[in-house]
Chains A and B, each alone.
Chain A
Amino acid sequence: MEFKQAVGNRRTIRYFKSWQPVEAAKIQKILEAARLQCYHGNAQLTRKAVVIERGKTPDDIREQMIDALYNQPQVQQAPVFIVWAIDMSGWEHLRENLKELIRVRALNSTHGWSHEFIETAVMPTPDFNVMAGDRTFAEWLTAFECGLSVGTALLAAVDEGLGTSLVTGRRGQIREILGMPEYVTPTQIQLVGYPAESPEAGGQRPRPPYEELFFDGSWGTPLARDEQVAEELKAAGMIQPDGPLPWRAAEIRALSQMFGLPE
């Protein structure tokens, strides 16, 4: 699938074919894509995930997870959960990770990088070595870094013809169920499976106008949107018809009857 089409096709899927497992290779491809996303300081061990699969993970773990995710219907249906987490202990390797980037010639003296620079400038500076400064900023940045992977994982799932979505849950309970140490915090849980609803899921969701999100040179100055570019993106499948599509109400009714859910 072309990148623009994958971006355009992504929806938060809320109805899954519970009876159709996801191929192991597809789960791996999602995780491989997430693994390749960029990292601040190449701190690669700060974002991790636990995969829960129906029929593979013990039933009691999966059932406890469903409870921790508020028993939402899409959670009951989805055959795979990817529990994304931040691991603050991953920052302990920052020095070695940066030196590794010098070794592979990603960081070069053209930009002032040397082993001495890492020791005397980077490691003592909280803007780079976030664990040297304010913990709140460190956790915020780590969560941001984790989000980069999750965003990629969502698109990778779409690229594999799967439905996917994110849910939150009771973090303390999830940590306990999955045996996470205290320096690990579960973030969003990615549900993966074959969609029981149509891939359009009723149409593209409402979004704020472009000009309210992006600014030109200073905060609040709208960046002009070129409508010709928007038309090109429609032709490429990235911008799609807004929801609700005409048949959406009937689709929801049929799905609710199939799953025994309130309409």
Chain B
Amino acid sequence: MQDLPPSFTELPTVQRFVQDLETKDLSEAERHARLALLAEFCAFVGKTPDEMVNEIFDTETRKYKKRNFYTARVKEFSAQIEGSWSERTARGNVIRNFFIANGRRLPNETPDWL
């Protein structure tokens, strides 16, 4: 298991995500895998976690500003792997969870049967 650099894990938004993961019934390996996936997404969009959280929402107008951008990137990120709809959605949901832990929400995927 490759350690993530402190310059990543010590960011305030990542710390919030870590705290959120600790409240869930997850093994250490699962928690680490989710952090690694977040790091992979950050590389994919070329932003730090703090930058993503800061730019998705305008705290003055209290409105989302780059929500569509991140929604589309998460979908692309999900589609990068082979597998079932559930497996691909679970990949994107880790990023949605990161935003949720930081008080922001991206629209969820809905299965065809819904």
Name A's B-contacting residues (CB within 8 A): 18-19, 71, 73, 76-77, 249-250, 253, 256-257, 259-263
Contacts and interface: CB of A to CB of B under 8 A. Distances in A.
Among A77, A256, A259, find the residue whose CB has the most chain B CB atoms closer than 10 A.
Answer: A259
25 contacts: A18-B113, A18-B114, A19-B113, A73-B108, A76-B110, A76-B114, A77-B114, A249-B24, A250-B25, A256-B93, A257-B90, A259-B114, A260-B85, A260-B89, A260-B93, A260-B108, A260-B109, A260-B110, A261-B93, A261-B108, A262-B93, A262-B97, A263-B24, A263-B93, A263-B97
| Top 9 A-B pairs, shortest CB-CB distance | A262-B93, A262-B96, A249-B25, A260-B89, A262-B97, A260-B109, A260-B111, A18-B114, A261-B108
B79 to A, nearest CB: 14
B100 interface: yes
B25 A262 contact: no
Nearest to B21: A263
Among B93, B94, B96, B100, find the residue whose CB has the most chain A CB atoms closer than 10 A.
Answer: B93
A54 to B, nearest CB: 10
A253 B97 CA distance: 13
Interface in B9-30: 24-25
A71 B105 CA distance: 11
A146 to B, nearest CB: 28
A190 B90 CA distance: 30
Contacts, number: 38
B83 interface: no
A167 to B, nearest CB: 15
A72 to B, nearest CB: 9
B86 A260 contact: yes
Q: Is the interface of A mostly helix, strand, loop or mixed?
A: helix
Given A260-B109, A263-B97, 13 more contacts: A18-B114, A19-B113, A73-B108, A76-B114, A77-B114, A250-B25, A253-B25, A257-B90, A259-B114, A260-B85, A260-B111, A261-B93, A262-B93
Contacts of B24: 249, 263
Interface in B54-105: 85-86, 89-90, 93-94, 96-97, 100
A33 B36 CA distance: 53
Contacts of A261: 93, 108
Contacts of B110: 76, 260
A71 B64 CA distance: 15
Among A77, A250, A253, A260, find the residue whose CB has the most chain B CB atoms closer than 10 A.
Answer: A260
B104 to A, nearest CB: 12
B107 interface: yes
A148 B40 CA distance: 51
A253 to B, nearest CB: 7
Contacts of B100: 262
Interface string B26-64: 000000000000000000000000000000000000000
A263 B90 CA distance: 9
B113 to A, nearest CB: 7
Given A249-B24, A250-B25, A253-B25, A262 B86 contact: no
B27 to A, nearest CB: 12
Given A249-B24, A249-B25, A250-B25, A259 B96 contact: no
Contacts of B86: 257, 260
B76 to A, nearest CB: 17
